[in-house]
Structure 1
């Protein structure tokens, strides 16, 4: 009878002491932190590579030249339209007189 009250070893193995649970929790947190830091470093490296590729290409410089040229053309068109309107108004005035 005395032996029936003793629990088998399998029940003890399923329930480890609390100190190892805390240690497992801390180690899981540290691994999660390490993986997060490594992921952040990989993203930063990828961003730096892409940014360098864009900066080293000449497309951004060409884009600046095109933007300046379009701006210049717009101002020229506005000037021509303004001169045309002035010339048309003079012509109308001359016809009335």
Structure 2
């Protein structure tokens, strides 16, 4: 299990890169999103658990398809970037890292 100091360090490192990452990382292609949905078998009214949400690039693609999403991450800065106001998205900072 990672100790609190290491978990905090990971969170800060990802947080420092989050704004730049979100600006330069292209969105996921629609075909990839469709493939993930098809392969996973998640129903159209299903729920998705996303671990390691980062800036929410993938999350937004699934939210646009009306999935209810619970998102976890270790970086407060990254989680602050994505659209927390979306009613389909529940976010939680991951404080226990194994």
Q: TM-score, normalised by structure 1?
A: 0.22
- Bigger relative contact order, structure 1 or 2, given CA contacts below 8 A and separation 6+? 2
Structure showing the higher helix proportion among its residues: 1
Q: TM-score, normalised by structure 2?
A: 0.22
